[in-house]
Amino acid sequence: MSELTSLMSGSVQQIGQAFLFAYYLPSAVFVICHIFILMPLWNQAFPGLLPTLVLSNATQTVDLPTLVILLLIPLALAILWVGLNTFLIRLYSGNIDFIKNRVLSRAMQSNRKIVEARYTPLRSHREAYQKNLVLLDGPGLTEQERVNTLNSQSEIRAAIIEQYAILDQMPESVALPVTEQLIAPTAFGNALAAIPEYTKTRYGIDVTIFWVRLYTLLQKAAPEHFDRLNTQKTNLDLVLNLSAFSALILLEALILLLTGRTTYGELLILTIVVSLLTTVGFYRASVSAAAALGQLVAVSFDYYRKLILQEFGLPLPTYLEDEFKLWSRLAAFIQRGDPFYFPSAEPNDQNSTPKQ
Q: Are 189 and 155 in contact, with CB atoms under 8 Å apart?
A: no
Rounded mean pLDDT, 221-225: 95
Residue 6 has pLDDT above 90, yes or no: no
pLDDT per residue over 29-63, tens digit each? 999 998 888 888 888 888 776 665 444 444 445 56
Q: Three-state SS across 230-286?
A: HHHHHHHHHHHHHHHHHHHHHHHHHHHHHHCCCCCHHHHHHHHHHHHHHHHHHHHHH
Q: What is the pLDDT of residue 126?
A: 86
For 64-76, how does the pLDDT look when each residue is reduced to its tens digit (9 = 90+)?
Answer: 676 677 789 999 9
| Mean pLDDT within 175-182 | 88
Tell me if 217 sits within 8 A of 311, measured CB to CB.
Answer: yes
pTM: 0.83
Instruction: Determine the average pLDDT of the residues in 71-91.
Output: 93
Condensed to tens digits (0 to 9), the pLDDT of residues 293-336 reads: 999 999 999 999 999 999 999 999 988 888 988 998 999 999 99
Helices (H), the chain: 2-19, 25-33, 39-45, 53-59, 64-83, 85-93, 97-98, 105-137, 143-169, 187-203, 207-221, 223-259, 265-304, 306-311, 320-336
User: What's the pLDDT score for residue 300?
Assistant: 97
